[in-house]
Amino acid sequence: MSHLKKVRAGSWLPNSIGQIDAWIRDLKKEVKKQNAPLIKPIQDFKQMVESDAVLNGLATSMFTEAVIMREKTPLGTPEVKNFDEFLSLLNGIMTQAPQFTECPDKSDDEEPCGLIGFPINALLDWPMATSFGYEFFSNVLVNQQLKKILAYWSEYLVSKDSRKVLIESFPKRTPKVLAWLSEPAKKEMLKVACEAVNVKDQKFCLKQKFEDIFECNPNDKYYGFKSWDDFFTRKFKKGVRPIAKGDDIIVNACESAPLQVVENVQEDAKFWLKGQPYSLENMMNFDPLAKKFKGGTVYQAFLSALSYHRWNSPVSGKIKKAFIVNGTYYLENRYQGFINPEQADPSAPNDSQPFLSAVATRAVIFIEADNPKIGLMCFIAIGMAEVSSCEITVKKGQKIKKGEELGMFHFGGSTHCLIFGPDVKLKFDFHNNEEPNINAINIPVHSKLAKVE
């Protein structure tokens, strides 16, 4: 059955639901042992939901529906059975950073190796895909409270305490937890980095070390990283990702895998429907510049959990506008969840990426390219789940060269779009991928993505 195992874009969560269940069971033990009171943002969230009859009903119903859907499968009852249990486990996550888990049996080629990169998403995997979950997570008040909870968690993830996951291992846990700076973890991160380069260069790439690829200090036990976030937003060493030359060459803005290219996009479209068309007005938060892209092209790509999470300018030019749009955190397209019996899969967020471009928390950056054949273009970084802390590092009026930093995702990465006007004709280069799709592998950041014809 498709809902038992499905490839998840970027491997932010394991394909195996059984592996997620094992992680949740371990989290339950930790939470019980700590027996800590709910932090204030979570307590406030609980009180808000309980005092609102509609939200309380939705919260109860989405977990009830998730239990019903799960028990129709051989997996049986889900690990998280109700809203109160979710809040208790959420509280436990607030003092831990994502951990690297031991690779399962590698005879299963589809099984990812790495981490529970979206721990909160892992708890909500099934409720998110329900009809009641759609209503709950689209509520403005719910998203305001979730933002406060994620902000609280972010304070821990930028602290020195958060970096203990870089050096601590727990071999007796199921699945086994390994330090991020252990040899198996570093090897896996190196493998992801090397998958992006040309096939002929991969053998040489794999012979290198972690410190040959990323900026770090291997003489320090934490490799010089000041926090979990500092480690996760690590940079490539100079020269590892050369910038493709040529005024007519658009470079890849993120180390990311191509999802799709759509032409003749509409200014206003019903993006919430099953087909998930792009809606420029909604993506750009109804900015007046949106109309300039009507009939243009959208390229969307997704980021890997074990890769590089900074954004870089695809062209040389001038920053026209740059702003953050507050949006949803755990909303997904209704038609990718359990409402569609043929696609009753809890991994629906992966299949909702075009939809999320219009509703999720995101950073919007307009760039006036130096090359008049490109003209005005737009980069949109889209947060998924807890990876919604988008930081823009450029400002309006700033001149920027191709390949220079635009900003970054904190605590992980997600998906992004490049948008071009209707008169821009592009020939894309998908590198080691025959075409964009959910199974694609990363294209190196700074490398040629498209040529203006």
- Looking at the structure, tell me whether residues 151 and 219 fall in a common domain: no
- Looking at the structure, tell me whether residues 19 and 150 fall in a common domain: yes
Question: Quick check: is 339 in a domain?
Answer: no
Low-confidence ranges of the chain (pLDDT < 70): 1-16, 103-115, 117, 174-175, 271-275, 335-336, 339-351, 386-388, 412-413
Please tell me the predicted confidence (pLDDT) of residue 283: 95
Number of domains the chain is built from: 3
Question: Among the three residues 128, 157, 186, which one is the final residue of a domain in this structure?
Answer: 157
Question: Quick check: is 300 in a domain?
Answer: yes
- Looking at the structure, tell me whether residues 83 and 114 fall in a common domain: yes
Question: Quick check: is 314 in a domain?
Answer: yes
Write a three-state SS string for 88-141: HHHHHHCCCCCCEECCCCCCCCCCCCCECCCHHHHHHCCHHHCHHHHHHHCCHH
- Looking at the structure, tell me whether residues 37 and 90 fall in a common domain: yes
Question: Quick check: is 407 in a domain?
Answer: yes
Question: Quick check: is 10 in a domain?
Answer: yes
Which domain CATH number covers 434?
Answer: 2.70.70.10
Please tell me the predicted confidence (pLDDT) of residue 17: 75
- Looking at the structure, tell me whether residues 104 and 148 fall in a common domain: yes
Please tell me the predicted confidence (pLDDT) of residue 120: 87
Please tell me the predicted confidence (pLDDT) of residue 172: 75
- Looking at the structure, tell me whether residues 273 and 213 fall in a common domain: no
Question: Among the three residues 122, 157, 192, which one is the final residue of a domain in this structure?
Answer: 157
Domain interval for residue 414 = 249-326+361-452
Please tell me the predicted confidence (pLDDT) of residue 2: 39
Residue 290 near residue 267, CB atoms below 8 Å: yes
pTM for the model stands at 0.90
- Looking at the structure, tell me whether residues 367 and 277 fall in a common domain: yes
Residue 182 near residue 221, CB atoms below 8 Å: no
- Looking at the structure, tell me whether residues 13 and 120 fall in a common domain: yes
- Looking at the structure, tell me whether residues 273 and 392 fall in a common domain: yes
- Looking at the structure, tell me whether residues 119 and 263 fall in a common domain: no
Question: Quick check: is 382 in a domain?
Answer: yes
CA distance 116 to 64: 24
Please tell me the predicted confidence (pLDDT) of residue 199: 83
Please tell me the predicted confidence (pLDDT) of residue 366: 98
Question: Quick check: is 267 in a domain?
Answer: yes
- Looking at the structure, tell me whether residues 199 and 299 fall in a common domain: no
- Provide the 10 A C-beta neighbour count for residue 342: 6
Residue 243 near residue 446, CB atoms below 8 Å: yes
Please tell me the predicted confidence (pLDDT) of residue 10: 45
- Looking at the structure, tell me whether residues 218 and 306 fall in a common domain: no
Question: Quick check: is 411 in a domain?
Answer: yes
Q: How far is CA 18 from CA 50, 96, 177, 286, 369, in A?
A: 31, 21, 16, 42, 48
Please tell me the predicted confidence (pLDDT) of residue 377: 98
pLDDT tens-digit readout, 367-412: 999 999 999 999 999 987 765 578 999 999 999 999 999 999 987 5
* Residue in the block written with tokens 């993506």: 283
